[in-house]
Amino acid sequence: MILGPYPVKYAKAWVKTIHRRLPDMAGAMWCVGLWEGTEMRGLAVVGRPSRMLDVPARTRVHTQIVQRVAVVEGTPNGCSMLYGACSRAGKAMGLDNLVTYIHDDEPGTTLKAAGWTVGGPTDGGEWTRPSRKRKKAADAEPKVRWWAPWSKVALELERKRREAATEIVAAVSRGLERDRVRMLRTGAR
């Protein structure tokens, strides 16, 4: 299978025919396609994230989001290949972060295979506020956030996880040492 760029202007229609959960989507910045011979087997669409992760206009874009990954059923490793390609392309373009979201009931196997780091659950919800009415969200359920492995956020998460693991190992070691000293004092073997 071959990976390559795909025109954004055709992405929306292709995703609408293939994506099983969220066929409709907003605009995109760039896309990666997956082909087997001349047949297109998958597509990843990357764009701007929500305003919480976005930057003001006319400044360098630091974070982008993989909005959709749509793969024809029966395409082995297609999703992992597309997530990996998006990650490599984002890093090559100089992004600080690349993020994506999956549903709670999805295991994230393709993201793990592509080396992405789980960032934790989101709250979900609607964007509508009393002061600003919005179109009802197609899928307002909580999701799980994942970061590309080179993302600054992913690197910080991994650093914190290593520190926590080191603290646990140290605490266990201290407890074992206390038990050994206690056994020596009481003469127990």
Residues for the chain: how many in total? 189
103 DSSP β-pair partners = 143
User: Which amino acid, 154?
Assistant: A
Instruction: Give pLDDT < 50 ranges for the chain.
Output: none
pTM: 0.75
What's the pLDDT at 28?
A: 80
Residues 147, 157 contacting (CB under 8 angstroms) = yes
From CA 17, how far away is CA 125, in angstroms rounded? 26
What's the pLDDT at 41?
A: 92
What's the pLDDT at 104?
A: 80
What's the pLDDT at 46?
A: 92
Residue 72: count other Cβ atoms within 10 Å of its Cβ.
15
Q: With CA atoms as reference, report the closest residue to 35 among 67, 75, 83.
A: 75
CA angle 88, 17, 93 (to 5 degrees): 15
The chain-wide mean pLDDT, for the chain, equals: 80
Residues 49, 26 contacting (CB under 8 angstroms) = no
What's the pLDDT at 56?
A: 56
